[in-house]
A = this chain, B = another copy of it.
C-alpha cells in the first residue's frame, strides 16, 4: 500500500471541481462533495468555477461544504507581485480556503516572501508550482527547475506541484527535497496519466478532475481508483 494512504483511511486524492458548462455550478459541486467528502483528501477550485458563480456568497457556500476535509485548495496559480498576491489570498481565505497555489518563477523577494509570511500568519498552506503538465513546460520552466525548487523551499512551501504526465520529474524532485515538502500532482486522467502514476513516482497527492467528476458515479470511480494504489 502506498505512502500516506493507510493512516488517514482517505484516498491521497484531491478532486478538482470543474463543473461542465450549462449546469448549476453550486448544485453540481454540492453533489460531488456530498458524494466524496469522507474518502478524499481535499478539493481544488480554479478560476473558471469562481467566474461562473452568480454571487460571491456561492463560493463561500461551496467551500463551507468541504468542512472536515484536510485540503481546501484555491488553485489560481498566482504569479503577481507580493502585495497583490497577499490581497488575493486574504480574500480567498475569507471564503474558507486553507491552501493556496502560487508559481515559484516570480521569485522570493517582493513576491513569495510576502505570501509566505501571510500564509503562515493565517495558519494556511502554501503550495508552489515548480513544473507543469503541458508540453510547453519544457520550453522554459524545466530549464530552471532547480531555481524554482530553491524558491519554493526558501518560501517554506508546505507543498509543491509537479506533473503526473512526467513522473521522472516527480522522482527527481523527491530525491532532492526528501520528505520536507508534499508533492501534489495534476495531469491524471483526461490529461494523460493513469491514476497512481504520480504516487508511485513519489508524490503525496494526485489531483484528479474530470475522470472522477464526469463519471456516472464519482464515489464508485474513486473506490475503483483505490485499487490502483494498493
Which residues of A line the B interface, CB within 8 A?
Answer: 46-48, 50-57, 76-82, 84, 87-88, 91-92, 103-113, 129, 132-141, 143-144, 147-148, 151, 191
Contact = CB atoms under 8 A, between A and B. Distances in A.
Contact of A110 (B129, B134, B147): B134
Nearest to A186: B81
Nearest to A143: B144
Given A54-B57, A108-B136, 18 more contacts: A52-B56, A53-B56, A55-B56, A79-B103, A81-B132, A81-B191, A82-B134, A103-B103, A106-B134, A106-B141, A107-B141, A109-B136, A110-B136, A111-B136, A113-B136, A139-B147, A139-B151, A140-B144
Q: At the interface, is chain A mostly helix, strand, loop or mixed?
A: helix
A108 B139 contact: yes
Nearest to A190: B83
A102 to B, nearest CB: 10
Given A81-B133, A88-B47, A109 B139 contact: yes
Nearest to A47: B88
A54 B56 CA distance: 5
A92 B56 CA distance: 16
Nearest to A154: B139
B134 A111 contact: yes
Nearest to A133: B81
A78 B57 CA distance: 24
Contacts of A92: 51
List the 4 closest pairs (A to B, CB-CB), nearest first: A107-B136, A110-B134, A107-B139, A111-B136
A117 to B, nearest CB: 14
